[in-house]
């Protein structure tokens, strides 16, 4: 079996009977982290708290307890829907999904089956961020709001399992895509884009390690042009990488089954990241009958225009719009894409522009210098030791010729180390660039004298040695010479 990896060509898996296409749909569960309280109770939702310390009477389903919708959760889900260009349903309703499990105190999950809060929407993704032609639209079928369950702990006692209800009742948005993805890369791009949008909107922090975002991965295969095949659903996959691995693995598994004459069972599977395999959890026949029905404890949600207007007005500039704006400022498409991929980067960069940096120069500097430094320090941009205003000051010194690009790197290092301002560093350490031709000429003369052989070579046609003389001069001037002046003077002296 060979997987085609050419980005331009459609993703195909070569089987014994020919090429196969994979069809992927994702159900992403995104925790509404914008509020620190649960969907139907006032309990807190802080991650990592001691077991059963964030549980209200409602969460524990004590007798006579009733759910009351948390308006802020609804607001965040509506804002998310709007950011995904989706239809917001003015009238929606909560349903009960009934099943027994120890992590589900009520014996039902409050969800939305029949009338979800958010209807159809769409996300545009760049499968390859360096290639505008790789853009693809992924349809959103719906977003509904529901409660999370608690957690069973199997490692606390030799024969018993313990229950931690901290997560119980936490608000989730289930974002259901259309089966529009055709490769692991597309699914990865969709997930990353979705995560970015959620983080821009602020409804979900997108933290997959802490479980605030996880995906159920629906995969089927078919011969290109055929009807959809039978799909399997792999539950609770908690990283972009794993989602892509599940698709790759599951597609290959299904092709092997089909090509050896078998059929795909519509079933729920689990992914084991250690062994990189999926295995069957339960088949359609064993599937629960969830006995969905409208929750009689809750009234239908009816949204008025004022509420929707406020939600709309509160939306920030979203990644696509921001990217286009950056490109309009002569920032390269690649830089624009990189700068808008994470909301923190975009915020930092906006602040840099706000502080007066020239966009194109600023973008180049952030992508090359700042990212490099942060990488080295192992820090995120939100913990960057240099403020956008501080960086703007540095860039201005380069732009107005006060220091050279080389010195700028030095100054930036000092800024990172000491926290001093760029101008102060340049001032106190005498790093100002000089255009004093007298001083530059005197250094050039010494260098030409010391390198008479190279001068001769240059003059006999080895033009590339010009860079050597520039470098030697800059070095002699401790980097402070204005490179333009050095160039000019060298040309004169070598002619």
Partner 1 sequence: MSELTTKTIAELRDGFRAGDFSAREIAEGFNAAVAASKALNAYTVETPEDALAAADAADKMRGQGDLPPLAGIPLGIKDLFATKGVDTTAGSHILEGFKPTYDSTVTANLRKAGAGMLGKLNMDEFAMGSSNETSTYGPVLSPWRRKGSNVGLTPGGSSGGSAAAVAAMIAPGATGTDTGGSIRQPAAFAGICGIKPTYGRCSRWGIVAFASSLDQAGPMARTVRDCAILLEAMAGFDPKDSTSLDLPVPQWEQNLSSDLSGKRVGIPKEYRIDGVPSDINALWDQGIEWLKDAGATPVEISLPHTKYALPTYYIIAPAEASSNLARYDGVRYGLREEGVKTLDDMYAATRAAGFGAEVKRRIMIGTYVLSAGFYDAYFTKAQRVRALIKQDFRKAFEQCDVILTPTAPSAAFGIGETTDPLAMYLNDVFAVPASLAGLPAMSVPGGLDGQGLPLGLHLIGNELDEQTVLNAGLAIEERAGFTARPEKWW
Which ranges in 162-237 belong to alpha helices (H)?
A: 184-201
Residue 136 CB contacts under 8 Å (≥ 6 apart), including other chains: 124, 125, 127, 180, 186, 189
* Residue 163 found at the interface with partner 1 (CB under 8 A): yes
Report yes or no: 119 and 86 within 8 Å, Cβ to Cβ: yes
What does the per-residue mask of binding to partner 1 show for 58-97, with x meaning CB under 8 A?
--xxxxxxxxxx--------------------------x-
* Residue 105 found at the interface with partner 1 (CB under 8 A): yes
Edge to edge, what strands does the sheet with 95-98 contain?
A: 108-111, 95-98, 293-294
Q: Pull the structure tokens for residue 456.
A: 């001769």
Closest to partner 1 by CB, 94 or 242: 94
Nearest CA to 143 out of 220, 203, 186 is that of 203
Which of 106, 112, 337, 482 lies at the binding interface for partner 1 (CB under 8 A)? Answer: 106
Q: What are phi and psi of 164, to 5 degrees?
A: -115, 120
What whole-number distance in Å separates Cα of residue 422 and Cα of residue 26?
A: 48
* Residue 57 found at the interface with partner 1 (CB under 8 A): yes
Closest to partner 1 by CB, 22 or 110: 110
What whole-number distance in Å separates Cα of residue 215 and Cα of residue 222?
A: 22
Indicate the pairing of strand 213-222 with strand 293-294. unpaired
Closest to partner 1 by CB, 98 or 437: 98
Closest to partner 1 by CB, 51 or 333: 51
Which of 87, 113, 298, 351 lies at the binding interface for partner 1 (CB under 8 A)? Answer: 298
Closest to partner 1 by CB, 290 or 468: 290
* Residue 39 found at the interface with partner 1 (CB under 8 A): no
Return the percent helix, strand and coil in the chain, to nearest 5. 40, 20, 40
Beta strands in 52-104 (DSSP E): 91-92, 95-98
What is the residue-wise DSSP string for 12-37?
Answer: -EEETTEEEEEEEEEEEEEE--SSSB
CB-CB neighbours of 404 under 10 Å = 24
Within residues 258-297, the interface with partner 1 by CB under 8 A covers 289, 291-293, 296-297
What whole-number distance in Å separates Cα of residue 434 and Cα of residue 416?
A: 25
Minimum CB separation of residue 53 from partner 1 in Å reads 15
Minimum CB separation of residue 45 from partner 1 in Å reads 19
Within residues 411-470, the interface with partner 1 by CB under 8 A covers none
* Residue 158 found at the interface with partner 1 (CB under 8 A): no
Minimum CB separation of residue 297 from partner 1 in Å reads 5
Closest to partner 1 by CB, 157 or 275: 157
Closest to partner 1 by CB, 98 or 364: 98
Which of 108, 200, 349, 458 lies at the binding interface for partner 1 (CB under 8 A)? Answer: 108
Which of 101, 210, 309, 462 lies at the binding interface for partner 1 (CB under 8 A)? Answer: 101
How many residues at the interface with partner 1, by CB under 8 A? 30
What does the per-residue mask of binding to partner 1 show for 190-219, with x meaning CB under 8 A?
------------------------------
Using the rule CB under 8 A, give the single segment among 12-20, 74-82, 98-106, 312-320 that binds partner 1. Answer: 98-106
Nearest CA to 220 out of 161, 179, 164 is that of 179
Dihedral over alpha carbons 294, 297, 299, 303 (to 10 degrees) = -90
Closest to partner 1 by CB, 290 or 371: 290
Binding site for partner 1 (CB under 8 A): 57, 60-69, 96, 98, 100-102, 105-108, 161, 163, 289, 291-293, 296-299
């Amino acid at each position: 079996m060979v997987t085609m990896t050419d980005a331009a060509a459609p993703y195909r898996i070569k089987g014994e009977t020919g090429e196969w296409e994979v069809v992927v749909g994702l159900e992403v569960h995104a925790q509404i982290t914008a509020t620190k309280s649960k969907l139907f109770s006032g309990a807190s939702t802080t991650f990592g708290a001691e077991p059963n310390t964030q549980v209200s009477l409602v969460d524990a389903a004590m007798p006579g307890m009733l759910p009351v919708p948390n308006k802020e959760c609804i607001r965040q889900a509506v804002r998310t829907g709007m950011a995904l260009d989706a239809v917001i349903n003015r009238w929606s309703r909560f349903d009960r999904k009934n099943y027994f499990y120890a992590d589900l105190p009520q014996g039902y999950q409050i969800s939305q089956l029949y009338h979800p809060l958010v209807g159809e929407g769409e996300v545009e993704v760049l499968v390859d961020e360096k290639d505008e032609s790789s853009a693809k639209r992924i349809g959103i079928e719906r977003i509904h709001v529901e409660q999370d369950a608690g957690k069973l702990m199997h490692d606390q006692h030799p024969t018993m399992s313990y229950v931690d209800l901290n997560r119980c009742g936490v608000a989730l948005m289930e974002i259901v895509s259309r089966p529009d993805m055709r490769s692991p890369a597309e699914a990865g791009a969709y997930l990353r884009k979705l995560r970015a949008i959620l983080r821009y909107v602020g409804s979900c922090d997108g933290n997959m390690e802490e479980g605030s975002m996880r995906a159920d991965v629906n995969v089927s295969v078919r011969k290109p042009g055929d009807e959809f095949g039978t799909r399997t659903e792999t539950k609770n996959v908690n990283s972009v990488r794993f989602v892509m691995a599940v698709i790759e693995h599951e597609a290959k598994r299904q092709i092997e089954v089909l090509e050896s004459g078998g059929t795909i069972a519509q079933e729920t599977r689990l992914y084991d990241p250690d062994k990189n395999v999926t295995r069957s959890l339960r088949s359609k026949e064993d599937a629960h009958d969830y006995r969905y029905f409208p929750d009689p404890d809750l009234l239908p949600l009816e949204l008025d225009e004022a509420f929707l207007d406020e939600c709309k007005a509160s939306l920030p500039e979203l990644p696509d719009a921001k990217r286009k704006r950056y490109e309009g400022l002569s920032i390269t498409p690649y830089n624009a894409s990189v700068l808008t991929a994470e909301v923190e980067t975009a915020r930092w960069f906006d602040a840099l522009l706000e502080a007066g940096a020239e966009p194109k120069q600023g973008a180049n500097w952030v992508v090359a210098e700042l990212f490099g430094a942060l990488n080295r320090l192992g820090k995120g941009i939100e913990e960057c030791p240099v403020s956008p205003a501080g960086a703007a000051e540095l860039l201005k010194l380069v732009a107005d010729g006060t220091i050279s690009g080389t010195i700028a790197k030095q100054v930036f290092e000092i800024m990172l180390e000491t926290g001093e301002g760029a101008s102060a560093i340049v001032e106190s350490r005498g790093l100002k660039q000089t255009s004093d031709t007298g001083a530059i000429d005197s250094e050039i003369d010494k260098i030409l004298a010391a390198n008479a052989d190279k001068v001769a070579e240059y003059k006999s046609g080895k033009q590339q040695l010009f860079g050597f003389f520039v470098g030697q001069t800059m070095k002699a001037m401790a980097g402070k010479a204005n490179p333009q002046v050095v160039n000019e003077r060298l040309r004169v002296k070598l002619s």
